[in-house]
Amino acid sequence: MKGKRIFVFAPKKSVYKIGGIGTVPVGRVETGILKAGMVLNFAPSAVVSECKSVEMHKEVLEEARPGDNIGFNVKNVSVKEIKRGYVASDTKNEPAKGCSKFTAQVIILNHPGEIKNGYTPVLDCHTSHISCKFLNIDSKIDKRSGKVVEENPKAIKSGDSALVSLEPKKPMVVETFTEYPPLGRFAIRDMRQTIAVGIIKSVEKKEPGAVTAKAPAKK
């Protein structure tokens, strides 16, 4: 159900080591409610840790809600284990996962030439900034009606709208736009400019590897 999962972005330079407290990621709650005691997964890694406390503007919160910019203390995790673009979510409620590839609808805004299969620009989605490869241009579509006008075109150019299959070159968390808009919209950058924007239609999830942090011990 939409809104049940918790997504907290960990932007660059927003994970702190505080004496007497420990590791404190800083981010924004996008969906769901975050409370102390929840066990969180930091996707796309396999880091799992218990949330010990939640604060906003130096005040302890009983719970954090969507839109809150917070700091939250986690156990047994080093600052280096949480990176830009990571997404924290409740391990008990469909936790976020990395993806192997995804399908998106893109609109090419400004590109000097043609975009073909194999093109690998940088994609900005939430706090992720990762190169993604155009595996296949599945179809060219009419921007107004959404109808397919050409299957598997050889190339697309400025002004075109298309369905494309993309593969991130590094671990990345995305979701479909219909379920979680903040994780489902993106901009494509190349040549120091935004050359396209898009929304994610479907995602092929990837299972994380071995757990690299300690989950809280059972009592």
Q: What is the pLDDT of residues 42-91, one digit of tens each?
A: 999 999 999 999 999 889 999 999 999 999 999 899 989 998 889 999 99
Are the folds of 8-90 and 98-206 the same?
Answer: yes
Residue spans of the chain under pLDDT 50: 1-3, 210-219
Characterize the bridge pairing of strands 59-60 and 122-125. unpaired
The domain ranges of the chain are: 8-90, 98-206
| Cβ-Cβ contacts under 8 Å for 137 (sequence gap 6 or more) | 115, 116, 117, 152, 153, 154, 155, 156, 162, 163, 164
Read off the pTM. 0.85
CA atoms within 13 A on the CB side of 41: 21
Look at residue 7 in the predicted model and tell me its pLDDT.
75
CATH of 8-90, one of 3.90.1150.10, 3.40.50.300, 1.10.1840.10, 2.40.30.10: 2.40.30.10
- What CATH fold (topology level) applies to the domain 98-206? Elongation Factor Tu (Ef-tu); domain 3 (2.40.30)
